[in-house]
Structure 1
Amino acid sequence: MFKKRSLAVFAGALALALAATGCSGTVESLAGDSGSSSDGRSVLTLQDSTSYTQLPIRFGVEKGFFDEEDLDVKFTQVQDAVTGVATGELTLAFGPTSNYLRGAEKGAPIKIVSSAFRSKGPFFLIARPGIKSFADLRGKTIGIATAGSSMETYTRKILSANGVDPDDVSFIANGVNEQAYGTLTSGQVDATIIHQPFPALGELQGKSVTLARGWDYLPTYHTGVLIAGNNVIDNDPDLLRRSLRAYFKAYTYAKEHYDEYLPWLKSKLGTIDPKAVELALRQEDDIWDNNPAVDPVAIRDTQDIEIEMGLQDGPYDAGKYIDTQFIPQEYVKDFTYPRPAR
């Protein structure tokens, strides 16, 4: 029953997002923007985010990597990334592979144009102190971010792999990042699936214990991609090529120069314990692979898992919604995956 409700909630939210026809809460209107600035340079418009995983973009802007590609980067707030790229408010958007594929299958004029800087689930299942094993989670409440999301998928898989029937716990949609962490520390949930740097912060503060890492349980489940609208793909392919080149240069440089990037990152996350920021980077370093290529095997596995979880009715031709002609070949690597947890 819960699976059916989760799917219904997601489908309803997606339908509302795709039905939006006007501005979706942008800070500055992009109506009529030709994609070029006044001096003839191209404008790359991205979703405004201060998430620690997205900060390498701003780092790359400061380093001049986007300027080298004749790109003026603008950040804007949108209510929904799919609507943002579909309407041209955003040039590119980062987000969950399965959700974006479902959006395209339902008719959104978007395509996946690249894997993101990482494509393996960077999720941690953390619990309040006192929960010492997975068995202790039976009868407890667990936050799964958003019903029907990939974070719910990971939570269910982690529980099942450790002998806990998902039907023996209560799931609630508790948001992400600070919001999700707050529900744990305030006692609203007993455990939650969450991104860094909050697992690291919880460890240092003594407010949480880490039970599992997502990628150990679903190593080939594809979680992170970049999408673009069909209009940009058809009419400004060079903008996408230059944007992706700058994106991967920024993320690759940040990872290869932690001595430079880490102090910068700590300064931008001034409200987070600097030790937690450093620990967070170390704890997920092995899945930060900066590989833009999209593995069709991982896409197939992702669909299979979504079907198994009751979040997708059946398989569809995902290849129709993937266009990798724009990815910078100098960053393409062989596909590697972590050994699954036993």
Structure 2
Amino acid sequence: MFSSTRRQGRRTSLTKPLAVVAGLALALSACGAPQSAPPGQEGNDGGGEAGGETVTIGVGGQTLLTYLPTTLAQELGYYEEEGLDVDLQDLQGGSKALTAMIGGSTDVTSGYYEHTIQMQAKNQPIKGFVNMNLSSGLVLVVAEKNKDTIKSVADLKGKNVGVTSPGSSTDMFVKYLLSENGMALDDAAVSAIGAGSSAVAAVEQGQVDAAVMLEPDVTVLGKRLGTEPTIIEDVRTPEGLQEVFGTDAWPSSSLYATSAWLEENPESAQKLANAIKKTLQFIADHSGEEIAAEMPESFAGGDPEQYAKVIEEMKPALSTDGVFTEAGVEAVLKTQRVANPEVGDAEINLEETYTNEFVE
């Protein structure tokens, strides 16, 4: 799986269990959690009469395959079948999607579960209610201009690393890796390069020294370069996840909302959960080619065959039932405590960061 990449400078310290370490999540310096919505965005109550209510979902990078179920559910008509009018807003980064929801511009976020832990540390209750992915799917790629000088995480000191946006999971991945290598969280600078074509161009043109990317961007980059991208860390596979985080499950892309919204809109939450569960089952039962055929044509980047291949390869990392596991959320908390100073030793009640009531 994902055999087209090559890995250099594999560090040995990451094979240790996460009893002492942990990191990854979403934040720039500390946790970078947003306090308000972007200017000009108005609130949305997301309520309405049963059987036709409107729900606005902010997506942390809609073309990224980690969020594929969110868009696929719409393309398959599953939201509509549940009686929902879903408006998907592509916000090009997890922190931006979270910001929009906190400010009331969206009702629900299709983002990484780790945000819920981050926000609890800020006394803002957020709760995941559908888990879509068992791995973060992140890849640390080195720009071709630096492939002979950056061969390990230690070589990132003083370098500029591209992330989707400051405060997003890609940013926290950088900080986790730096911490795991005994480095300061600010030893490497981060720059926002977004997702999709902007991210690929930034790495291809050497605008950054390295970048944390997701699929299909990694594969597209390789095609543009005409050679296999140089990869230092890769958690797209169960093996990579175990090696980097010391766990078999690390819940990432999910649907989450404020606890208040879930309490006020349980029927809408249930309908969203139903739609995503049906989508996850559709993915499990169909080939990458069949799934790709249902997605917006523009998401394939002009190469539908390649897009289908990458979807097929990433399927094992997707949840099939939408359930959060206790071991998985514990692993995310452990990684947060390393990479996010605002979580650190803060008292976190994991039971308040997720619920399986809608998927079970």
Q: TM-score if structure 1 supplies the norm length?
A: 0.75
Maintained 8 Å contact 1:113/1:327:
yes
Offset from partner CA, 1:202-260 (integer Å, 9 cap, x none): 22232633343122412444433321123322222121111111022123313422342
**Structure 2 CA distance for partners of 1:52 and 1:154, relative to 1, 3 Å:** closer
Segments of structure 1 that go 5 or more residues without pairing to the other structure are 330-342
Q: SS at 1:269's partner residue?
A: helix
Instruction: Name the residue aligned to 1:280.
Output: 310
Give the aligned residue type for 1:125.
L
Match of 1:128 among 143, 161, 168: 143
Q: Which moved more, 1:78-87 or 1:60-69?
A: 78-87
Query: Alpha-carbon deviation of 1:93?
Result: 0.9
- Is 1:51 matched with 2:63? yes
The aligned counterpart of 1:176 is 194
In structure 2, what is the Cα distance between the partners aligned to 1:112 and 1:136? 31
The aligned counterpart of 2:231 is 210
Per-residue CA deviation, residues 83-127 of structure 1 (Å, 9 max, x unaligned), is 444455433212122233211331324322232x10312111222
Alignment partner, residue 263 of structure 1: 293
Aligned to 2:270, which of 241, 244, 252? 241
Tell whether 2:136 aligns with 1:113.
Answer: no
For 1:1-342, list aligned pairs within 5 A.
9-11=29-31, 13-14=32-33, 17-20=34-37, 25-26=40-41, 31=44, 34-36=47-49, 41-47=52-58, 50-53=62-65, 54-76=67-89, 80-86=96-102, 88-115=104-131, 117-129=132-144, 131=147, 134-135=151-152, 138=155, 141-145=159-163, 146-147=165-166, 149-155=168-174, 166=183, 170-177=188-195, 178-205=197-224, 206=226, 208-214=229-235, 215=241, 216-218=243-245, 219=247, 220-258=249-287, 259-265=289-295, 267-269=297-299, 271-309=301-339, 311=341, 312-329=343-360
What do the CA deviations read for 1:42-65 (whole angstroms, capped 9, x no partner)? 222212664243344343233222
CA RMSD of aligned residues (A): 3.6
Amino acid across the alignment from 1:63 = L
Indicate how the Cα distance of structure 1 residues 314 and 194 shifts in structure 2: closer, same or farther if over 3 A, else same: same
Deviations 1:249-306 (A, max 9, x none): 1233134223422233372325343343234224423212234222223322322222
Higher helix share: 1
Spell out, residue by residue over 1:156-188, the C-alpha distance to the aligned partner (whole angstroms, 9 max, x if none).
Answer: 555787xx6656973322333233322211112
Q: Is the Cα contact below 8 Å between 1:43 and 1:72 reproduced in 2?
A: yes
**What's the TM-score once normalised by structure 2's chain length?**
0.72
Cα contact 2:129–2:354 (8 A) shared by 1: yes
Q: Aligned pair in 2 of structure 1 residues 202, 140: CA closer, same or farther (>3 Å)?
A: farther
Q: Contact 1:248–1:290 at 8 Å: present in 2 too?
A: yes
In the alignment, the residues of structure 2 paired with residue 108 and residue 265 of structure 1 have an alpha-carbon distance, to the nearest angstrom, of 34
Deviates further, 290-299 or 74-83: 74-83
Q: Distance in 1 between matches of 2:278 and 2:54?
A: 18
Q: Distance in 2 between matches of 1:318 and 1:88?
A: 25
Q: 2 CA distance for matches of 1:299 and 1:288?
A: 16
Q: SS in structure 2 opposite 1:66?
A: helix
CA distance in 2, matches of 1:7, 1:30: 24
Amino acid corresponding to residue 209 of structure 1 in structure 2: T
Residue 335 of structure 1 corresponds to: none
Aligned partner of residue 78 in structure 2, secondary structure? coil
Question: What does residue 336 of structure 1 align with?
Answer: none
CA distance in 1, matches of 2:56, 2:123: 23
The AA in structure 2 aligned to 1:93 is: T
2:200–2:220 CA contact under 8 A, matched in 1: no
Q: Counterpart amino acid of 1:101?
A: I
Give yes or no for contact 1:266–1:277 (8 Å, CA) kept in 2. no
CA contact (8 A) 2:277 2:320 kept: yes
* Secondary structure of residue in 2 paired with 1:307: helix
Q: Which moved more, 1:263-272 or 1:288-297?
A: 263-272
Query: Is this contact kept in 2: 1:18–1:83, CA < 8 A?
Result: yes
Instruction: Read off the aligned partner of 1:210 and give its amino acid letter.
Output: I
Q: Secondary structure at the match of 1:262?
A: helix
Q: % of aligned pairs identical?
A: 15
How has the CA–CA distance of structure 1 residues 250 and 256 changed in structure 2, closer, same or farther, with 3 Å as cutoff?
Answer: same
Query: In structure 2, the residue corresponding to 1:134 is in which secondary structure?
Result: coil
Q: 2:231 is matched by which residue type in structure 1?
A: T
